[in-house]
A = this chain, B = another copy of it.
């Protein structure tokens, strides 16, 4: 199985996506010398047995946060991307240092740092207030329909987030999509943030599946990269402001919203 997996990855690396989007299932592969060779059926993608969904940005719309965070930074919505990236960076800083803190706490610390670098002193209380709206984000418009479609199709659906267990419970309930998931996992239980290899391994084992049977669906280049490195299939939701990491393998599916991804998965 491993060999097939490896050759499939090499195949993907060399493949040219059909139309740039959609399922990356080219009918031709180009060799190093530019010659095309046929692709056999066994190289096509298998139906995953379990779908893991990233939550923030992937399912839920972070735009509300952008306002509260921008306001905390002294009316600088242009600094929101820097804040979010700093939060992601420091989640990994703690992970590689064998530390763990609640994602929200790291977000607060990151907000204070970005503030200080831009002449704005933010207290712990103010940071907490600015981040609070993350608990009541609306789902992106197509999300509910997509999840219902996948559920009807027999897929096992699991949310898998860097948010804490408590936070994601509020998030999914407030967005009205809590009951659509068979299970809800947080990296809090493994103590290492995505995209740590161990986080995906833990999630697969927790759900009782092998890595090859898992697919991660996420709107972050780093998340699909990490899941792929852990042997999972991946689907990238190319929401505005989100990009793939050029030094990672491309995802099996690449679509601009979740419903389009669901429709690809229904076909498998």
Which residues of A approach B to under 8 Å, CB–CB?
78, 81-82, 85-86, 88-90, 92-99, 101, 105-106, 108-109, 112-113, 116-117, 192-193, 195-197, 221-222, 225-226, 229-230, 241-248
Q: Which of B81, B97, B222 has a CB less than 8 Å from the CB of A93?
A: B222
Docked complex Cα distance between A82 and B85 (Å): 7
User: Which residue of chain B lies nearest to A223 when distances are taken between CB atoms in the complex?
Assistant: B93
Q: How far is the CA of A117 from the CA of B245 in the complex (A)?
A: 12
A90 proximity list for chain B (CB < 8 A):
222, 245, 247
A139 to B46, CA, bound (A): 54
Query: How many copies of this chain does the complex contain?
Result: 2
Chain B contacts for A196, CB-based, 8 A? 96-97
**Structural contact, B93 and A195, CB atoms closer than 8 A:** yes
> In whole Å, how far is A28's beta carbon from the nearest beta carbon of chain B?
24
Of all A-B residue pairs in the complex, the 5 with the closest CB atoms, nearest first, are A92-B92, A97-B229, A96-B196, A89-B89, A113-B243
Residues of B within 8 A of A193 (CB): 96
Contact residue among B97, B116, B226 (Cβ-Cβ distance under 8 Å from A195): B97
| B246 and A109 form a contact (CB under 8 A) | yes
* Minimal beta-carbon separation of A57 from chain B (angstroms): 13
For A96, give the chain B residue with the smallest CB separation.
Answer: B196
CA of A78 to CA of B81, assembled, Å? 12
